[in-house]
Amino acid sequence: MPLETELITPAGYKVLVNTGLFINNEFVPGANTIETINPSTGKVITSVQAAEEEQVNLAVDAAEKAFYGGWKTSNPRERSRLMNKLADLVERDAEDLAQLEALDNGKPFGFSYAVEIPLILSHLRYYAGFCDKLHGKVIETQGKLSYTVHEPIGVCGGIVPWNVGMVLLTWKVAPAICCGNTVVVKSSEVTPLSALKFSALVKEAGFPPGVINIITGYGLKAGEALARHMKVGKISFTGSLSTGRAIMKAAAESNLKKVTLELGGKSPNIIFDDVENLDEAVWFSINGIYSIGGQVCFGGSRIYVQEGIYDTFLEKFKAMAASRKVGDPFQDKGTEQGPQASEIQFKRVMDYIESGKAEGATCYHGGKAKEGTDGYFIEPTIFTDVTPDMKIMKEEIFGPVVAISKFKDVDDVVAQANNTTYGLAAGVFTSNVKRAVTISNALEAGTVWVNCYMLVDSNTPFGGYKQSGFGREGGEDCLKDYTQIKSIKINIGLQ
């Protein structure tokens, strides 16, 4: 059965994609197939091969063979060269990758091309530059030469979600490869197409067989098998809290592999009445919750506005939300928001909206599916008159839904902002530098943006507090989770 297929996007763009499992530098059949759906129409795009335990074993064996067959001791400069070559190919085929993301995920093509592709390139090139900079330390000890070396773990597993799968694929691959590990990454069964295209570029870049393996499959089969595999020394997962717990359990019950988890959030965004540019604060807040249809783990879904400017902020926010163009990622010029990524996610978000109404919150704007469409489109939605005990204030909705509350002073808003089991991100808008620093220090979150929101860079660590997970992705700190530190002590003077 041929695995290569030509896909044509609604814009008439043609992309050649191999729908097999990428194992040992070859595209191979899986245990079965999975249909991937265009969320703008609800229609099938194509079918891709799906892995189960047998295929996971093949991928891990290929990765282990590559690791001990030379990649473990590979020249750091050669790793850097290959990673930069891969970045060059991503840049060359940026149009293909962005078209596939818009088709498969529903995000606007312009967003994927202008935001996601640069993030991928910067991540690959950042870690390519770190390959020859993984230094240990010489430690002064009496009568001994003591020093440390940073060694690769071996086979590293990665499991990526469907919302920004193309970006997070590189977040798992780049630091692992930089440190001399080999990888097996499971892409989401909901949005696998860009990962398949990326796989072909891995082979074209010249990576040895088995160094990078990319498979697709259901979490309960392929993901579970990868998390429990005795030959996998580290697993990195981005996704839901419930699945994160299952992965921790699988790691503990198997070989106590290292684990990095990024499990979402319920991020507060705080607007003080001394904010210098209220219109700018509104713009950042709009994009901080409605980008990619609200399907962003660090989306600012709880906005707290100081009471003196609450009414003005709410009026401006509603006007901008109402003018936001929700439509087809390809056909509508200036589209800012596409559909939810799947029918399941669409229904989940609509259930949360109904829950907010039932619990007494005011649906100030939106709250409905977008009329006149066949896909999974939801209007940008605003809730007011919310209380901390409401479901929409406690749980991650992962959709274009925001709750806007007012607050009195610093103590009041810090208490409200930290009143969550999550701790992924937060935003603060104020012209008072002392206040900005004080609030940033008080907020229980892994990232705090001041007078901006949703700005992500490759050279800064990203991760959560509390039930948003542990470990970091991005920046130099990330590399600690992809190496083992060995202490070596040599007797040079003891009798």
Token code pair at residue 225? 């098998």
One-character DSSP codes across 154-209: SEEEEE--SSSHHHHHHHHHHHHHHTT-EEEEEEPSSS-HHHHHHHHHHHHHTPPT
Going from the C-alpha of 442 to that of each of 64, 180, 239, 338, the distances in angstroms are 44, 38, 26, 35
Supply angle C-alpha 276, 277, 280, rounded to 5.
145
Could you give the count of Cα atoms lying within 13 Å of 245 in the half-sphere of its Cβ?
4
Indicate the domain borders of the chain.
4-262+469-486, 268-455
Going from the C-alpha of 14 to that of each of 9, 11, 43, the distances in angstroms are 7, 9, 18
Token pair 């990619």 is found at: 292
User: What CA–CA distance (Å, rounded) separates 251 from 153?
Assistant: 15
Could you give the count of Cα atoms lying within 13 Å of 423 in the half-sphere of its Cβ?
17
Supply the pLDDT for residue 207: 98
Picking from 124, 234, 158, the residue whose alpha carbon sits closest to that of residue 481 is: 234
> Biggest alpha carbon distance in the chain?
86
What proportion of the chain, given as a percentage, has pLDDT over 70?
99
Non-local (6+) Cβ contacts of 411 within 8 A are: none
Look at the chain and count its residues.
495
Token code pair at residue 155? 């086979």
Cβ pair 34, 26 in contact under 8 A? no
Could you give the count of Cα atoms lying within 13 Å of 385 in the half-sphere of its Cβ?
10
What proportion of the chain, given as a percentage, has pLDDT over 90?
95
**pLDDT by residue (tens digit) across 171-198?**
999 999 999 999 999 999 999 999 999 9
**pLDDT by residue (tens digit) across 32-48?**
999 999 999 999 999 99
Taking the model in full, what pTM does it have? Answer: 0.95
Cβ pair 442, 270 in contact under 8 A? no
Cβ pair 50, 216 in contact under 8 A? yes
Torsion sign over Cα 163, 167, 171, 177: positive
Supply the pLDDT for residue 81: 98
Token code pair at residue 257? 């592999």
Which residues are the active-site residues?
A: 262
- How far out from the chain centre does Cα 33 lie? 25
Q: In what order do the strands lie in the sheet with 447-450?
A: 362-365, 381-384, 401-407, 302-306, 268-271, 425-429, 447-450
* pLDDT over 80 at 2, yes or no: no
Token code pair at residue 341? 């990524």
Token code pair at residue 171? 């977040």
Mean pLDDT, residues 309-325: 97
| Residue 495 pLDDT level (bands cut at 50, 70, 90) | low
Picking from 190, 192, 185, the residue whose alpha carbon sits closest to that of residue 158 is: 185
Mean pLDDT, residues 416-437: 97
User: What CA–CA distance (Å, rounded) separates 90 from 351?
Assistant: 38
Query: Exposed (0-12), middle (13-18) or buried (19+): which is 110, by Cβ within 10 Å?
Result: middle
SS3 percent helix, strand, coil of the chain, rounded to 5, is 40, 25, 35
Token pair 């190919």 is found at: 89
The three-state secondary structure class of 99 is: helix
**pLDDT by residue (tens digit) across 63-99?**
999 999 999 999 999 999 999 999 999 999 999 999 9
| Residue 11 pLDDT level (bands cut at 50, 70, 90) | confident
Mean pLDDT, residues 215-233: 97
Supply the pLDDT for residue 374: 84
Fold of the 4-262+469-486 domain: Aldehyde Dehydrogenase; Chain A, domain 1 (3.40.605)
Supply the pLDDT for residue 270: 98
Supply the pLDDT for residue 332: 64
CATH class, range 268-455: alpha beta
Token code pair at residue 487? 């202490």
* pLDDT over 80 at 366, yes or no: yes
* pLDDT over 60 at 1, yes or no: no
Token pair 């009568």 is found at: 143
**pLDDT by residue (tens digit) across 101-139?**
999 999 999 999 999 999 999 999 999 999 999 999 999
Going from the C-alpha of 478 to that of each of 167, 178, 246, 260, 458, the distances in angstroms are 16, 11, 22, 10, 10
